[in-house]
Amino acid sequence: MRDERLKILGDNIRAERMRKRLSQEKLAELIGVHKDSVKNIENAYQTPSAFIVFDIANSLNIPIEDLFKNVPRSNK
């Protein structure tokens, strides 16, 4: 479940980043992280902090909820 949710979040980030025609390197620069962090988040290898997700949404100029579309709720 966790891996599935991270994958969907990463896919949503990638789709929004590409829609805005930003490279991973440019998004990383905008949010103040290394470009490998953006790559790892998009590929579900790294769990981003809430603040990083917030910064990504702000940098993409979209509501944070858009990054969580289709992410299933936890059953816990």
Number of domains within the chain? 1
pLDDT at 73: 85
Kindly state whether residue 76 falls inside one of the protein's structural domains: no
Q: Does some domain include residue 59?
A: yes
CA distance readout (Å), 9 to 31, 61, 66, 67? 17, 17, 9, 6
Q: What is the pLDDT of residue 51?
A: 98
CATH of the domain at 64: 1.10.260.40
| 3 φ, ψ (degrees, to nearest 5) | -60, -40
pLDDT band at 2 (very low <50, low <70, confident <90, very high): low
In a domain, residue 25? The reply is yes
pLDDT tens digit sequence for 5-60? 999 999 999 999 999 999 999 999 999 999 999 999 999 999 999 999 999 999 99
User: Considering the entire predicted model, what is its pTM?
Assistant: 0.92
